[in-house]
Amino acid sequence: MNYQDAVKAYYSDPRPEILKDVIGKLVDQMSLKEKIYMLSGHIGLQMQKDLITTGRNYNVHALAGGGCKRLGIPPILFTDGPRGVVMCNSTCMPSAVMRASSFDPEVEYEVGKVIADEAIAQGANLFAGICINLLRNPRWGRSQESYGEDPFVLGEFGKALTTSVQEEGMIACVKHFALNSMEDLRFYVDVHIDDKSLYEVYLPHFKKCVDAGAECIMGAYNRYEEIHCCENKKLLTDILRKEWGFDGFVMSDFVWGVYDAEHSIRAGLDLEMMFTIKYSERNIRKCIEKGFINEEHLNERVSNIIRSLIRKQPTIKERDMSVVGSAHSRGVALKAAEKGMVLLENNGILPLDKDASIVVCGPYADVANTGDHGSSRVFDKKIVTPYQGLKNHFKNVVLAGCTENKNPKKDPLPVDNSVAYQSNGDVAVICVGFNYKGEGEYFVNTSYKLSEKPKDGGGDRLTLRLADEEIELIKGLKKAGKKTIVCLYSGSAILCDEWKEYADAIIMYYYGGCEGGTALANLLSGDKNFSGKIPFTVAQKEEDYPEFKYIGDKPYVIDYGYYHGYSKLDKENKKAAYPFGYGLSYTDFELNDISFKDQGDAFEAKVKVRNIGDRDGAQVVQVYLGSENKEIDRPVKLLKGFKRVELKAKEEKEISININKDELKFYDEGRWVLDKRYKAYVGTDCEDASKRVFSLDM
């Protein structure tokens, strides 16, 4: 029996026992050498060719791992994410955190369809862009790759992307398992955490993706309780497989994820990527000879990979290259940007008249700043910058203080503030914040001394504030008599207190993807209405966030506590500068006739939402639950349901939000428990929800 025979046998009778039988027959035919070959990446030669032909050496083409040519077993063909397909010149989607700001998993589902199309057209069968690590502190450099601070949002968006990609026959890889919320010290940090915090805060979103059918999990670089995640039996076997029933395969994070072949194989790591280093034939044979592992361990690892290939890969339908960068793909990117961009402040300046006289300035006014330049970088050649988008939409637009880029470059433009102050124009759109030099994936830490952090090296953010020259630009433009609209490039929170009074409007632009500039123009003009909500907390001061460090002993030990973000502020009775779930619109809404009905295994929340303004718009209704058990430490409230609703001017709709009671359980010494009474909070952001409180009995 070869691979094609196994596929035919299973799809003619797709029962679990048939799948187990055909996998066993394939594995029984494989030599020890073939089994070992199945367990690692084999892309060195391809990377050398790509570097010569394209000047790029990472993921220009799909990255191969495993496979058995003699039996026809295909390799894993990997493409990275999550801003889109990293291969070639694919469509650059808005950053994941921006997409989460839509609070619309249906849009994420559409994004997944585009990603699957473009990945399949370019030869991949696995997408490793479902990043659901929790934003514990906004200094985290890779916050832009994930969906914010809340486990419920992380789970809902991770599930949507997983489901969408896998419906097309792709294997979805969810990462990085687990506790990966620091970048500079990612190879050295040793996270200590109690089981309650682990299960309730850092793992539920991973389980939600596993329950949605994710076929692949990627281990993390960091340690958990002194053991590297890619050789951590508690994570990879006890929790993932035994408790959750995961039967796909686990791959390592790339290159530096595996430290010891024996430990990783015994712990449950199936595939070492992206090179064969620790899972070499020599190393594994030596482990077998010494009795550290046996061939049954290899059979299990190989079987896990083959199982996922048989379940998914035969269902892939071919796409041609015309889908890559197509009008449809860019349309989905535009929709995601329009729904995800967040209006934080508006003193009445917005929306702008079509004949407004606009000055666009700042270091990112006409720069293709789409985010991190690490493994998630998408090489889209058609990036619409803020200047280009506004110029295409409004009559009177000038670029001031910097030179127009006919082909926008990656680096920020040098800005002459004095020129910007003197420019003609009543309204200044100021593009400031961060780029890949200030936050993102961090490679320097593979070699640098832990007592140093190079400037402009990316990684974790050194500050949550704008640069001094950017603050000076905002203040100077306001003093020059211009109305100021500040567009913030960032993967998470920026503290605004020292310049906020000089801004007439503040917008979270994030990293807007290939159509970010178009989305900005549509929103500023009022052709579209702002509806995004921040999926993180903007605190009053940096000290309101949990502990965070860039340097330390090797390994650096840190305790991840039970509280972060809005749950921490609630616990400490502190106000946020901008609360979790916050975002403004050009219209206003009312929530009325709120009720809860016990349906046995769930609560149904019903809410009437009315648009009381003169513009069409969308609102996100958020439902938080908090236990009334005073004897045990519980969060004041946690998000457990949300729904985005589109409303015409003056229109009212009744919406329903179902909250599964399993979502309300707490982890207590190895078991999940419901408390007897809960409070429900309903609103349009975390703080607004505290105005509407209801009691629920279990």
Write down the residue that tokens 């682990």 correspond to: 198
C-alpha dihedral sign at 302, 308, 311, 312: negative
Say which residues have a Cβ less than 8 Å from residue 431's Cβ, sequence separation at least 6. 360, 361, 362, 363, 364, 365, 367, 386, 487, 489, 509
Is-same-fold flag (340-559; 587-697)? no
Q: pLDDT under 70 in the chain at which residues? A: 45, 403-410, 413, 444-452, 551-554
81 vs 491: CA distance, rounded Å: 15
* 602-611 and 617-627 strand pairing: unpaired
97 vs 300: CA distance, rounded Å: 36
For residue 317, give the H/E element and its range. Answer: none
Query: Tell me, what amino acid is at 375?
Result: S
DSSP state of 95: P
Residue 185, judged by CB atoms within 10 A of its CB (0-12, 13-18, 19+), counts as buried
Do 338 and 528 touch, CB atoms closer than 8 A? yes
C-alpha dihedral sign at 420, 464, 446, 452: positive
Query: Tell me, what amino acid is at 399?
Result: L
**Annotation: CATH topology of 340-559:** Rossmann fold (3.40.50)
Torsion angle, CA of 391/397/402/408, rounded to 10 degrees?
A: 0
448 vs 629: CA distance, rounded Å: 48
Write down the residue that tokens 């994030």 correspond to: 510
Do 38 and 73 touch, CB atoms closer than 8 A? yes
Q: What is the CATH number of domain 3-322?
A: 3.20.20.300
439 vs 461: CA distance, rounded Å: 5
C-alpha dihedral sign at 336, 339, 345, 351: positive
Angle, helices 16-29 vs 295-312, to 10°: value is 130
Number of residues in the chain: 698
| Tokens found for residue 77 | 């063909």
| Tokens found for residue 313 | 């890969």
Do 30 and 67 touch, CB atoms closer than 8 A? no
Query: Tell me, what amino acid is at 171?
Result: I
240 vs 198: CA distance, rounded Å: 13
pLDDT value of position 409: 58
For residue 697, give the H/E element and its range. Answer: strand 693-697
Query: Tell me, what amino acid is at 557?
Result: V
- Residue 223, strand partner residues: 190, 228
Query: Tell me, what amino acid is at 84?
Result: G
Say which residues have a Cβ less than 8 Å from residue 151's Cβ, sequence separation at least 6. 134, 200, 201, 202, 204, 205
Does the structural domain 587-697 have CATH classification 3.40.50.970? no
DSSP state of 272: B
232 vs 241: CA distance, rounded Å: 13
Torsion angle, CA of 318/214/656/535, rounded to 10 degrees?
A: -100
Say which residues have a Cβ less than 8 Å from residue 250's Cβ, sequence separation at least 6. 177, 216, 217, 218, 219, 236, 240, 268, 269, 270, 271, 304
Q: What is the 3-state secondary structure (H, E, C) of 149-204?
A: CCHHHHHHHHHHHHHHHHHCCCEEEEEEECCCCCCCCCCCEEEECCHHHHHHHHCH
| Tokens found for residue 69 | 């040519």
Per-residue pLDDT of 641-660, as tens digits, reads 999 999 999 999 999 999 99
Radius of gyration of the chain (CA): 25
Per-residue pLDDT of 569-586, as tens digits, reads 999 999 999 999 999 999
On the CB side of 402, CA atoms within 13 Å amount to 23
37 vs 310: CA distance, rounded Å: 18
372 vs 89: CA distance, rounded Å: 16
Instruction: Report helix, strand or coil for 680.
Output: strand
pTM of the predicted protein model: 0.96
DSSP annotation string for 333-386: HHHHHHHH-EEEEESS--SPPTT-EEEEESTTTTS---S--STT----S----H
Q: How distant is the alpha carbon of residue 9 from its chain centre?
A: 38
DSSP state of 118: H
* 396-399 and 576-578 strand pairing: unpaired
267 vs 331: CA distance, rounded Å: 44
The candidate with the shortest Cα–Cα distance to 134, out of 203, 65, 220, is 203
pLDDT value of position 442: 85
The candidate with the shortest Cα–Cα distance to 437, out of 379, 384, 369, is 369
391 vs 397: CA distance, rounded Å: 5
Do 39 and 28 touch, CB atoms closer than 8 A? no
Q: Where are the domains of the chain?
A: 3-322, 340-559, 587-697
383 vs 162: CA distance, rounded Å: 26
For residue 474, give the H/E element and its range. Answer: helix 468-479
pLDDT value of position 669: 87
pLDDT value of position 446: 59
- Residue 250, strand partner residues: 217
